[in-house]
Structure 1
Amino acid sequence: MSRPRKDLRILAGVVVAAFAAACLQPAQAESGVLAPASAVQAREAKGVKTAVFAGGCFWGMEAVFSHVKGVTSVVSGFEGGSRADAHYEIVSTGTTGHAEAVQITYDPAVVRYDQLLQVFFSVASDPTQLNRQYPDTGPQYRNAIVPQNSEQVRVTTAYLAQIKKSGLWKRPIVTAVEPNRGFFPAEGYHQDFALKNPDHGYIRMWDAPKVTALKRGFPGLWKPDFTRG
């Protein structure tokens, strides 16, 4: 069963939380899994870089990475489909090829790409869930990494191999590495959603615990301020 639409005009946040709690209980990402540091560190040139990750509802992904030092922007949006269909109501049908994703702008002098991957697998999403993340179901909620350059391909490939051997997860890791087909920002009301709606039922139930897990598991990368997209 999929969760209710995120549109605030349809359901109040408390109803969303009650529905989600009835369907599924919080799993790994909510309590946090400390993935190992990457054995292969990213070697990135100076200057701002971009990473794109898909891992379920983009509200939670945005909330996590907006609290990482060195991140200067996080934008919620869509990857994997065409620009023409990159609209929330259409993507939510699960027929467009898109995944909800975030585009992260970061300074590699402060936080490396491999460290962003570690955060992604530790607290931002559960890499063992195929075409879903907790109460959200469908291919638009798949777990995927979209490398933006050859260095990110190198680091991603090595890190996936490393964590698959780690034995930290009881189920197989299904995170896909997808080609860069373009990233398309979501509608304005999705941007900075957790910052603007901290008491929304979905945020409190599923996303606030991820932010708490980030603070607890990565004190060296944690920053208290929310980086606006």
Structure 2
Amino acid sequence: MKRLLLALLLIASPLAARERAVSLPPPAFDPPPASRGERQLVVAGGCFWGVQGVFQHVKGVTRAVSGYAGGAERTAHYDQVSRGDTGHAETVEITYDPAVVTLGELLRVFFSVAHDPTQMNRQGPDEGPQYRSAVFVTDPEQEKVARAYLSQLASARSFGAPIVTRLEPLARFYPAEPYHQDYLIAHPSAPYIVYNDLPKIEDLRRAFPELWRSDPVRTK
């Protein structure tokens, strides 16, 4: 209800502005993984509804799950995470086939259309450390690719403000409550989704036609 009311206020306000897509270069360092098989990438970029929705439309992604990372298991619940004092961030665990889409390509989508990496502890109307920008790295190989791309974007001054994305080690990913899964697919006409998230889906389609899949992968 809080998000719905806030979204209605934002729609009515001419000063409201969603995150804008940014055209970014591909990663200069994007080697294939050392081993075969599906891989996972866990990212945080504001409300997980929109981030999940974006990656559900990316070719090579076989599963995208909304959840929490950065805090303890006992606090990995929406009501507690929403307080902003648990250490958790709203995150999305992306399972993908590196033979179809690379880690670097996923990071490029993440930084260019899924969220604004220059916003500190917020995204759009949502504020607090639970909405921070972060990549929760699972191994040194993944950290090296992510760190190299962040450095590349910073050197190129790809954004009008400093990138604040954090690289955090992933201790554990906790799936969110069932009603959060596939939220964008299930509620495409919800005001929050219409204003904040559907434009990201369209940005993905236009900016990454080679990665676009019209039929989203579902978690349910």
Query: In structure 2, how many angstroms separate the alpha carbons of the residues matched to 1:80 and 1:202?
Result: 25
With over 3 angstroms needed to count, the CA separation of the structure-2 counterparts of 1:181 and 1:24, relative to structure 1, is farther
Q: CA deviation at 1:43?
A: 1.8
1:64 is aligned to 2:54: yes
Normalising by the residue count of structure 2, what TM-score does the alignment of the two structures yield?
Answer: 0.95
Contact 1:42 1:152 in 2 (8 A): no
Any gaps of 5 or more consecutive residues in structure 1?
A: 7-12
**Range with greater deviation from structure 2 (161-170 or 58-67):** 161-170
| Structure 1 residue 183 corresponds to structure 2 residue 180 | no
Instruction: Compute the RMSD of aligned alpha carbons.
Output: 1.3
Q: Which amino acid aligns with 1:43?
A: P
The count of corresponding residues between Structure 1 and Structure 2 is 217
Deviation track 1:18-51 (CA, whole Å, cap 9, x = no partner) reads 2233395224x3x310111000013212201000
State the distance in 2 between where 1:181 and 1:24 align: 39
Give the SS at the match of 1:178. strand
Q: 1:25 aligns with which of 10, 16, 25?
A: 16
User: Between the two proteins, what is the percent identity of the paired residues?
Assistant: 48
Q: Tell me, yes or no, if the aligned pair for 1:77 and 1:100 is still in contact at 8 Å.
A: yes
CA positional deviation for 1:16: 4.0
Distance 1:24 1:152 in 2: 38
Tell me how far apart the structure 2 counterparts of residues 191 and 166 of structure 1 sit (CA, whole Å): 36
Could you list the structure 1 runs, at least 4 aligned residues long, displaced by more than 4 angstroms after superposition: none
Does residue 37 of the first structure (1) align with residue 34 of the second (2)?
Answer: no
Cα distance, 1:192–1:24 mapped onto 2, change above 3 Å: farther
Q: Deviations over 1:87-106 (max 9, x none)?
A: 00000000100000000000
Matched, 1:114 2:104: yes
Displacement of 1:156 after TM fit?
Answer: 0.6
Q: Is residue 52–residue 101 contact of structure 1 (8 Å, CA) maintained in 2?
A: yes
**Cα distance in 1 between the residues matched to 2:65 and 2:14:** 29
TM-score norm. by structure 1 comes to 0.91
> 8 Å contact 2:6–2:125 — kept in the other structure?
no
- For residues 164 and 38 of structure 2, the distance between their equivalents in structure 1, rounded to whole angstroms, comes to 29
Change in 2 beyond 3 A, CA 1:110/1:20: same
